[in-house]
């Protein structure tokens, strides 16, 4: 096999992967500025650890819940935030914002990573494969480094914080001290809610 044959195979493989990615990525939906009302929740969601089942969203997202929406890198600190908050079970919900990823990344790589991050924990962890929760919450971006914190009130859900992690967070390239330092303002913001 000569060098030209190898280059041809590499070129065609790369072209095929780019084409597959382009054809399977869904365009983002336009986000409007209306209030996010609890009554408009998507009917069902998929949870990590309970694949091929759908759950009633209203049984998971209830008043006085804190919602963490994380992307590819930032999702790695969701459990750290939960541990720092020490909220009762069911009061902290994690959502993986992966709807812009190509279907094969959603199905295998991202899903496997989320299963590993969740472990045996009983925290509700929504795998937002179709983007229904992202669109409902009006998450403005799927930037891999950003995360968004929401507070569920009686009838309305409000975004209360936007944060960002460093590249390499998902691979453990930041220390626990850096994670805690990143999350201290979020923790304060959430704890201040209970004094209002």
Chain segment 108-158, per-residue pLDDT in tens: 566 667 777 777 778 898 988 888 999 999 998 888 899 999 999 888 999
CATH number among 3.20.20.70, 3.40.1410.10, 3.40.30.10, 3.40.50.720, domain 29-193: 3.40.30.10
Q: DSSP state, 80?
A: H
Tokens 């280059």, residue located = 7
Q: Do the Cβ atoms of 137 and 150 come closer than 8 Å?
A: yes
Distance from the Cα of residue 111 to its chain's centroid: 11
pTM listed for this prediction: 0.78
């Amino acid at each position: 096999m000569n060098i030209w044959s190898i280059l041809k195979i590499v070129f065609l493989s790369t072209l095929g992967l780019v084409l597959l990615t382009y054809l399977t990525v869904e365009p983002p939906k336009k986000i409007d500025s209306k209030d996010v009302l609890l009554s408009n929740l998507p009917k069902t969601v998929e949870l990590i650890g309970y694949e091929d089942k759908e759950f009633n969203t209203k049984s998971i997202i209830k008043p006085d819940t804190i919602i963490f929406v994380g992307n590819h890198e930032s999702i790695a600190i969701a459990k750290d935030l939960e541990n720092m908050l020490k909220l009762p079970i069911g009061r902290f919900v994690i959502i993986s914002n992966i709807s812009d990823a190509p279907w094969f990344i959603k199905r295998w790589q991202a899903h496997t990573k989320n299963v590993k991050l969740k472990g045996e924990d009983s925290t509700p962890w929504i795998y937002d494969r179709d983007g229904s929760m992202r669109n409902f919450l009006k998450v403005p971006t799927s930037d891999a480094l950003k995360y968004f914190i929401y507070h569920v009130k009686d009838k309305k859900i409000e975004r209360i914080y936007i944060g960002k992690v460093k590249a390499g967070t998902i691979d453990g390239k930041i220390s626990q001290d850096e994670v805690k330092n990143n999350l201290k303002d979020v923790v304060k913001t959430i704890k201040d809610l209970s004094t209002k």
